[in-house]
């Protein structure tokens, strides 16, 4: 009888699992909220959970269904909360556990899902586990990576175990005088790396995942996954150039022993299996793992795993985020198609142009490119990942060194990441409606008086926000969810692609990526266009109107005049085709 009961229970669980929505994440639009900068709810000048709750209707209005928040855990905030002292507690600066539970409740009421940032590569050096590890208290002794000195120099000073470097430059090893050993840190010395070969530690980490799943999160964005495990033999890494005699900067080494080690993929697979087992009790939708990798090609596609050996659901793709200068149409054609070409069968693409570690396009290119990149992210096949403020065209701006909060340099530009972490401007009042405090923790964009949510929403239907919102809503169409993709180099600086699905409307996305007006005939490059197509979306700088019909067929004149840096989205809906 007991065996029969177990079998029936398993059958019921399997049926429930089959009924839940296992595809929502494949086409979702994820909106990143950099918590400290989104909305202050308690008046201390820094964004928090209460502030986020107060703005949930903004996502509903915009048509967003999934929100991702940066770390909300207890932390000394040395690295914006990516240095954690308690993985199952809320940072008092961000609110309380009751606030978090209220956030989940209010999001559920609005049909929104929450993805949280989870850092399993390291903790803060103030975490109780690390303090106990320093003291060699069981079972925490080997929760972190400790190594004896390789030797001692002529002054009796201990020398590092190997030549490994940390991301911000200098040795990845820090001497601890109390334990008389070095500990390993791929980021700052305040962020010691976990020893993810320790079985007890892995069990503790799985408990963290279960804790937040039970709270109601829809999934996790896993930070810095390429750093999770390192070479078990701690071998020196080769220099990146024969000219480098003493490696100092991170790029001086080829990171074959500290990045994308196969053991990292194996651990992620183990987590995937665990999470799928834990979440079989849910009957609404599948919980997901999204990885932040900053890798390309085969190294990226490995994170998908296979049908029989699943790793993460989606590794984020940063090819568009890497673009920091003007590139022509052929460049975009190749970047997008090269990525799509290497995806494994059934692998979901993911597009991301900006985030809390990458410059806003308006800052490094121009304001018009904010709309260009947002349109691409939202209309390419697969998952779309937005950064707060993209919907109003936030530009980012420089701040004085004495105003900086995050002192760590960006890998490519050596400037403060605070340039693209400005508080969100909700209106043109004092501090942009971000806080009631006299000062925000970071200064707002200098143009917040005109680039803010209220002013953008008050523009006519051809304005930036309304066009952005229209693209988000287009993602609900079957064509953009399931349709084929094909891209075209119309001219040196004009890039286009089509999204088509049998029995549904078709779309053509057109981008002038150059600084001069272009005159193009789409039929020179794109076959099977109808005689007319309807403008669904026109960037504010385009000079075109939504609803206007344009000649695109072969029988009549069809020259399009494309202003610099403009975007058009055409469709066969309401056309004469």
Active site amino acids = 223, 292
Provide the pairing of β-strand 494-500 with 484-489. Answer: antiparallel
Q: How far apart are CA 288 and CA 115, in angstroms?
A: 9
Strand-by-strand arrangement of the 146-147 sheet = 146-147, 181-184, 173-176
Q: How far apart are CA 51 and CA 62, in angstroms?
A: 18
Provide the pairing of β-strand 113-118 with 173-176. Answer: unpaired
Q: How far apart are CA 467 and CA 62, in angstroms?
A: 11
Among the listed residues 330, 328, 340, the one whose alpha carbon sits nearest the alpha carbon of residue 300: 340
DSSP annotation of 167: T
Residue 179: φ, ψ to 5°: -85, -20
Among the listed residues 385, 335, 332, the one whose alpha carbon sits nearest the alpha carbon of residue 513: 332
| Long-range CB contacts for residues 398-403, cutoff 8 Å, separation at least 24 | 399/442, 399/443, 403/442, 403/443
Residue 567: φ, ψ to 5°: -130, 135
Among the listed residues 30, 32, 42, 31, the one whose alpha carbon sits nearest the alpha carbon of residue 434: 42
Coil/strand/helix, residue 495: strand
Beta bridge partners of 314: 290
Q: How far apart are CA 229 and CA 186, in angstroms?
A: 10
**161-174 burial by CB neighbour count: b if 16+ within 10 A, else e?**
bbbbbbbbeebbbb
Torsion of CA 105, 107, 278, 299, to 10 degrees: -150
DSSP annotation of 523: G
Residue 219: φ, ψ to 5°: 165, -170
What string of DSSP letters covers 20-85?
A: SBSSGGGS-EEEEE-GGGT--SSSSSS--HHHHHHTHHHHHHHT--EEEE---EE---TTTT-S-S
Torsion of CA 448, 78, 30, 543, to 10 degrees: 30
Neighbours of 545 (CB within 10 A): 10
């Amino acid at each position: 009888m007991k065996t029969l009961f177990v079998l029936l229970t398993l059958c019921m669980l399997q049926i429930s699992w089959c009924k839940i929505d296992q595809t929502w994440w494949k086409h979702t639009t994820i909106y990143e909220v950099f918590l400290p900068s989104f909305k202050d709810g308690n008046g201390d000048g820094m964004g928090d959970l209460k502030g986020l709750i107060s703005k949930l209707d903004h996502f509903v209005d915009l048509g967003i269904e999934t929100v991702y928040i940066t770390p909300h855990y207890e932390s000394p905030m040395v690295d914006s909360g990516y240095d954690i002292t308690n993985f199952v507690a809320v940072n008092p600066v961000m609110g309380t556990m009751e606030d978090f539970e209220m956030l989940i409740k209010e999001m559920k009421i609005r049909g929104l899902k929450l993805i949280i940032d989870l850092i399993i590569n390291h903790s803060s050096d103030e975490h109780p586990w690390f303090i106990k590890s320093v003291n060699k208290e069981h079972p925490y002794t080997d929760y972190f990576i400790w190594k004896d000195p390789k030797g001692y120099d002529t002054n009796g000073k201990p020398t590092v175990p190997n030549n490994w470097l940390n991301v911000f430059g200098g040795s990845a090893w820090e001497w601890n005088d109390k334990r008389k050993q070095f500990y390993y840190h791929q980021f700052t010395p305040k962020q010691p790396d976990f020893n993810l070969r320790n079985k007890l530690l892995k069990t503790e980490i799985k408990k963290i995942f279960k804790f937040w799943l039970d709270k109601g999160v829809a999934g996790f964005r896993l930070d810095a996954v390429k750093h999770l495990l390192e070479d078990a033999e701690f071998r020196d890494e080769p220099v990146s150039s024969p000219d480098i005699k003493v490696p100092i900067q991170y790029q001086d080494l080829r990171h074959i022993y500290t990045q994308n080690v196969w053991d990292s993929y194996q651990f992620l697979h183990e987590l995937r299996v665990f999470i799928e087992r834990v979440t079989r009790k849910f009957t609404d939708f599948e919980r997901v793992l999204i990885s932040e990798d900053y890798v390309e090609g085969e190294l990226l596609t490995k994170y998908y795993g296979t049908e029989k050996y699943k790793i993460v659901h989606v590794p984020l793709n940063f090819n568009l985020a890497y673009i920091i200068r003007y590139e022509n149409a052929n460049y975009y054609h190749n970047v997008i198609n090269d990525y799509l070409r290497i995806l494994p069968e059934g692998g979901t693409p993911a597009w991301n142009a900006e985030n809390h570690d990458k410059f806003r396009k308006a800052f490094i290119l121009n304001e018009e490119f904010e709309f260009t990149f947002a349109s691409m992210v939202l209309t390419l096949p697969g998952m779309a990942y937005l950064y707060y403020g993209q919907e109003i065209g936030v530009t980012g701006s420089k701040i004085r060194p004495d105003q900086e909060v995050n002192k760590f340099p960006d890998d490519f530009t050596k400037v403060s990441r605070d340039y693209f972490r400005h508080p969100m401007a909700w209106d043109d009042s004092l501090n942009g409606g971000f806080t009631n405090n006299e000062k925000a923790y970071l200064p707002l964009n200098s143009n917040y008086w005109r680039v803010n949510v209220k002013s953008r929403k008050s523009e006519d239907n051809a304005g930036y926000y309304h066009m952005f919102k229209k693209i988000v809503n287009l993602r609900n169409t079957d064509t953009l969810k399931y349709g084929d993709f094909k891209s075209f180099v119309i001219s040196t600086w004009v890039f286009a692609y089509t999204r088509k699905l049998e029995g549904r409307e078709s779309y053509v996305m057109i981008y002038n990526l150059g600084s001069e007006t272009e005159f193009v005939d789409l039929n020179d490059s794109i076959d099977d266009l109808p005689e007319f197509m309807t403008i669904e979306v026109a960037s504010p700088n385009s000079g075109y109107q939504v609803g206007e019909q344009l000649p695109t067929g072969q029988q009549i004149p069809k020259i399009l005049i494309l202003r610099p840096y403009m975007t058009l989205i055409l469709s066969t809906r309401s056309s004469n085709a």
